[in-house]
Structure 1
Amino acid sequence: MRVADPGSTCRVAAIDEPTVLRPYGSEVRWRIRQGDVDSYRAAARSINASNADAVNVQHEFGLYGSWTEPTFTRGRWIEGGYDDHLRPFLEVLTKPVVTTMHTVLPRPSPSMRGAVRAIAELSNEVIVMAATAVDILTTEYGITTPLRVIHHGMPTIEPHGRHRFKAKLGVQGRTIVSTFGLVDPRKGLQYMIEAMPEVVSRHPDALYLIAGQTHPDLVRAQGEQYRKGLVTQARLQGMEDHVAFIDQYMSQRDIIELLLATDVYVTPYLDPNQITSGTLSSALGAGKAVVSTRYLHASEALSDGRGVLVDFRDPGQLGRAVVSILDDPVAKRSLERAAFAYAKDATWPRAAESRSAAGREPHPHRRGRDPLPPRAGGDVGLQRRGGPGRRRGGTAAPCR
């Protein structure tokens, strides 16, 4: 934002887990304890008293509420629901607010639908990251206010240096298939590992690189059980020389260098409702040929010849798709060019310009809310902060 608008000053309201206390830099002005409704209200009152021009909320359901389990009471089941903590914050807040929704789920429960409708009612503007999200919010949530689409941002990447970065990673001479991000079962990595024998039968130098730490929530619950299972799977398939893990926090530079070394990028994810993927956005920004399952973001971003879509949990399709790209250099180059052209307007500087414009254009006055100023010189970002590999404020940092 500061690059797009050098006159702006950004301050952060950090959302922390209930039992965690982190040291922050001077950019963090407020702290919110996740799950504590009074903490959200207190932060809103403090922001109201500040000189902030506007508030930028990065929304993920897990950050701003909790789910209750179904209960059996007096002989019948009571449906569980979503307990929304953002609404109390927005009801107290008097500053103008722009809310970016990182997750938009089809077929919402009544409580989730109510939470999203409250966001639309109490925000000066709502931003989503895919046109598909506009359709879902309009048809399934009944949102009638205008919505702005700003695609998931990504670093500015020049798609050159494949051989140089392969050498830096120590994989020179190999054909690299890769996936990066926090490792957990929802990524479907086991299906790409299962697909590797077919890839290797056609391209004996192929190597599938899985980069990133295990999701911290999974580590707390199960330790490294899932990662160990992937290692065992590769060994039992005789793929020890064709599947490798980079088990470390991936900095932005690490991610860019991995992508530039990659021949085919794969997102074999299992959630059909995933509306945004930071890893997919970054791969497109690096001009990669991409193979992906048909989750919502991928179905939109990889349409019109920008990638190859396959069914969920189908290693045969994954393997054949990767082989078809590697077998045809002309088609591979066409995919790479189409991906880079699609993503060039979503680089972080371009995305920041679009978000800055959202704060300068006139917007309707919402109930209990000041209108956005003609030009906001400073704002507040409401987001979750965390250590390496943690999701921050609903954005993919490092990735989803």
Structure 2
Amino acid sequence: MTIVNIGTYPPKQCGIATFSLDLRNSIENSGRKVEIISVSDLSTTYQYGPEVKFNIRQEEKQDYYQAAKFINNRPEIKLVVIQHEYGIYGGPDGDYILSLAKRLIKPYIVITHTVLPSPKRHPQSVLHRLCSGAAAAVCMTKRSARLLTDIYGTPPHLIKVISHGVPDFKLNNSDELKQKYGLLSSTIISTFGLIGPGKGLELGIKALVPILKDYPDTIYLILGQTHPVLKQREGESYRLMLANLVNELGLQKHVCFVNKYLNDKELNDYLSLTD
């Protein structure tokens, strides 16, 4: 039995790509074979591993048709997993993925990463139609499950809640890591992940003001680069807004931007030194 995962995939640097890799590794550890259909933006050429059997160019609608044909012509493929996140697929609100899904003769599962509580009409329709044709729809919280039913019309019997996993990190010595990163004698708060307006990081920055009255040695680490889709569309406008806010509040010594995509070792280090 072969399972196909559709979504972004490393070396692309985004959360869904990492999720796809981790999911593949976990399923293969249980004895199942997983192949990848990657989705690539046009701005970068990616050198994929041999597990990537087909690549969809994000805005090339014909690629979605060909991907469905590729899957249907492979009798050993028994299940398709579609990662759904805004900004991955081409077309208005990513609706090109529907061109693929409706042509599949194999069952597919949708893994929903963002379930908007107040979507506009078209993105609501895209996710509704995608989930309506699925054998199952996976979400990561009970609230998302309610939204899938109430807002997107997904039948409750199709919905499975599977909490988001995390890497199996080992907790390392905090003081040693603080010394390594030049943070010794500081109380560390951290936020990690790709940066975008939906994260509400400005709220964390503003919250530092009262915190510093009682904990004057506090440093807030904002770990991660701007989401590549957001950066392509808007540049670094959100990060610059955050930096300006830090300057306005006089928090230059208490907020540190680590502007890079963290690998697992780096993330393990920063989480270990976080108080």
Give the deviation of 1:31 after TM superposition.
1.0
User: Which whole-Å deviations, capped at 9, do the CAs of 1:98-156 have from their partners, x for residues lacking one?
Assistant: 22111222244443343233223322221111111221122222222431111112111
Q: 2:81 corresponds to which letter in structure 1?
A: N
Equivalences for residues 330-345 of structure 1 within 5 A:
none
Q: Does 1:23 align with 2:60?
A: no
| Structure 2 counterpart of 1:215 | 227
The partner residue of 2:185 within 160, 173, 186 is 173
The partner residue of 2:246 within 213, 234, 241 is 234
Runs of 4+ in 1 over 6 A off after TM superposition: none
Q: 2:52 corresponds to which letter in structure 1?
A: V
| Structure 1 counterpart of 2:137 | 126
| Structure 2 counterpart of 1:87 | 98
In the alignment, is the contact (CA less than 8 A) between 2:60 and 2:90 conserved in 1? no
In the alignment, is the contact (CA less than 8 A) between 2:80 and 2:106 conserved in 1? yes
Structure 1: distance between partners of 2:110 and 2:27 = 19
The partner residue of 1:151 within 163, 177, 185 is 163
Give the deviation of 1:46 after TM superposition.
0.9
Structure 2: distance between partners of 1:224 and 1:110 = 29
Q: 1:37 corresponds to which letter in structure 2?
A: K
Give the deviation of 1:47 after TM superposition.
1.4
| Structure 2 counterpart of 1:57 | 82
Q: 2:54 corresponds to which letter in structure 1?
A: W
**Larger relative contact order, structure 1 or 2 (CA cutoff 8 Å, min sep 6):** 1
Q: How much is the aligned-residue C-alpha RMSD, in angstroms?
A: 2.4
The partner residue of 1:111 within 99, 122, 125 is 122
In our comparison, the structure showing a higher alpha carbon Rg is 1
Please report the TM-score for the alignment, with normalisation by the length of structure 1.
0.57
Question: How many residues are matched?
Answer: 249
Equivalences for residues 1-400 of structure 1 within 5 A:
1-6=24-29, 7-50=31-74, 51-67=76-92, 82=93, 84-144=95-155, 145-159=157-171, 161-221=173-233, 223-263=235-275
In the alignment, is the contact (CA less than 8 A) between 1:2 and 1:8 conserved in 2? no
Please report the TM-score for the alignment, with normalisation by the length of structure 2.
0.80
Q: 3-state SS of the aligned residue for 1:53? A: strand
Give ranges in structure 2 of 5+ residues lacking alignment: 1-23
Q: Residues 33, 251 of structure 1: CA spacing in aligned structure 2 closer, same or farther, 3 A cutoff?
A: same
Structure 2: distance between partners of 1:29 and 1:211 = 33
Give ranges in structure 1 of 5+ residues lacking alignment: 68-81, 264-400
In the alignment, is the contact (CA less than 8 A) between 2:117 and 2:147 conserved in 1? yes
Give the deviation of 1:207 after TM superposition.
0.9
Q: 3-state SS of the aligned residue for 2:198? A: helix
Matched-pair identity in %: 32
Structure 1: distance between partners of 2:120 and 2:256 = 40
In the alignment, is the contact (CA less than 8 A) between 2:78 and 2:107 conserved in 1? yes
Q: Residues 32, 161 of structure 1: CA spacing in aligned structure 2 closer, same or farther, 3 A cutoff?
A: same
Q: Residues 139, 214 of structure 1: CA spacing in aligned structure 2 closer, same or farther, 3 A cutoff?
A: closer
